[in-house]
Amino acid sequence: MTEKIITKKVLNWYDLNKRNLPWRKKAPSYKKHYYTLVSEFMLQQTQVVTVIPFFNRFIKKLPTLEDLAKVKEIELIKLWEGLGYYSRARNLKKTAQIIIKIFNGRLPDNYDDLISLPGIGKYTASAILAIAFNKPYIPFDGNIERVLKRYLYLKKSQEIKKDYLNKKKAVFGSSLRSSDYAQALMELGAIICKPSKPLCNKCPVIINCKSYKKKDFELIKNFKKNKDKYFILKVYKKDQRYLLIKNTKFNFLKNLSIFPMEELYRPKNFKKNLNVKMSNMNMNIKIEYSKNLRKPPLSYWVDKKNFNNYMLPSFTKKVVKYLEKN
């Protein structure tokens, strides 16, 4: 099967089966550019089904790039609450401000300018160029990577390295409908070539899929080991209230409300009470209850009965949930 036939089959399948996603709605180019920017930031490390309601709420409150650029941080974080990885929200706002100031309010349409913006890496730049500007890029996300590995039956350690995979994606070819084609390949991985139990009988490129011929769909991954980190988390409780602080110390959850914490380096005989995975970090947490309170700067009391009135990250909510059960 030539690249042109693959392209044609995937696009035909996409035209009949694509999901009705809010950022795919027909709109003037300036709105499409904005929707693509917002959705791609939200989709970083977050699944489509999770993003949809957040995207709709975000666009309703901040319908334009200008609205995003001038929104107050407390409102921005509240809109983002539940998506996690709050640095994405802050970088999105910074990017909006730079686009208005430096690029006259227009989303850049070249790779070098895009990758210079906060929160935009190689993948996001490629996705924006393909989806928003119809340029011949194939953004290499987990879905497309999975399709490629199965289609070519890539199993060896050398074959699953990023550089090798990026070269091999040429098998997909290109299309004048670059925007649709990039999304079609993502869609194929998301709803047909699933991580487990792929729906091969519905796949448009089943004929030449090497994994299908071998009836072997197992995926070999390059695992990145999460870094183990150790923290002492101090709990000050008064009646039904917990003492929280604004986080200015750690790079994660920057400027959000957390319990007072100290990081330990290579502790011996560390007995954790709680384990939380965050991005590429494995947080081992030992909880200490303290009665002697020296109220730290940027701290305040939060009544657990009114938690929904506060802008709290999911990490803090997990800690409270643990405390209430133990």
Q: Are 267 and 232 in contact (CB under 8 A)?
A: no
Q: Which of 3, 40, 75, 288 is catalytic?
A: 40
For the chain, where are the E strands, in sequence order? 227-235, 237-238, 241-246, 257-258, 261-264, 274-278, 281-289, 299-303
The answer for residues whose C-beta is within 8 angstroms of residue 55's C-beta and 6 or more apart is: 22, 23, 38, 39, 42
Instruction: Report residue 38 as tokens.
Output: 């917002």
Contact (Cβ atoms closer than 8 angstroms) between residue 55 and residue 39: yes
Q: Is 286 helix (H, G, I), strand (E, B) or coil?
A: strand
Instruction: Let me know if 288 is a catalytic residue.
Output: no
Q: Which residues, in sequence order, are bridge partners of residue 275? A: 284
Which of 279, 295, 203 is closest to 244 using CA atoms?
295
- The string of DSSP letters for 84-122 reads --THHHHHHHHHHHHHHHHSTT----SHHHHHTSTT--H
Compute the distance between CA of residue 108 and CA of residue 133 in angstroms, rounded to an integer.
10
Residues known to be catalytic: 40
